[in-house]
Structure formats: C-alpha cells, structure tokens
Amino acid sequence: MQGKVIIFKGNIKSFKTSGGEVTLQLVADTNDVSLDRLNEISEGMVMVNLEASQTELLTQESEKK
C-alpha cells in the first residue's frame, strides 16, 4: 500500500456492525495524534492496523498459591 501513515496510541470507544460493515469509534489524546496529519489523510480509502496488549491481574488468592 502506498500512501501516508499516521500512528498513535488510542482506545476503541465503541464499535458496531451492520451487514458486512464495521464502524469503530476510536479515542486518543491529542498529545498522541497529530490532528493536522489526521486531517491530511482523512479523505479517501483508509487502512487501519489495530494492535493491543492486555495485562491480566492476578487476584490475591492466586498470588498466595
């Protein structure tokens, strides 16, 4: 894919599906995303790559074992 790239940290606020389409609402701090850059690439096709990491916290009972 050729084009412009914007990378930022954010969270998925909500998502919904309708037929074969998915709508994602993302939330990001303005310190983490360039609004000028986002505006620059907002027209036309967009490819989104989502990456996530999750940390599972242990309960106190599990820590005692």
How far is residue 56's CA from residue 65's CA, in Å, rounded to a whole number? 17
pTM of the entire structure? 0.56
Distances (CA, A) of 39 to 11, 35, 43, 60: 19, 6, 8, 47
**21-27 vs 11-18, strand pairing mode:** antiparallel
Digit-coded pLDDT (tens) for 7-60: 888 888 999 999 999 999 989 888 888 888 888 877 777 888 888 776 677 676
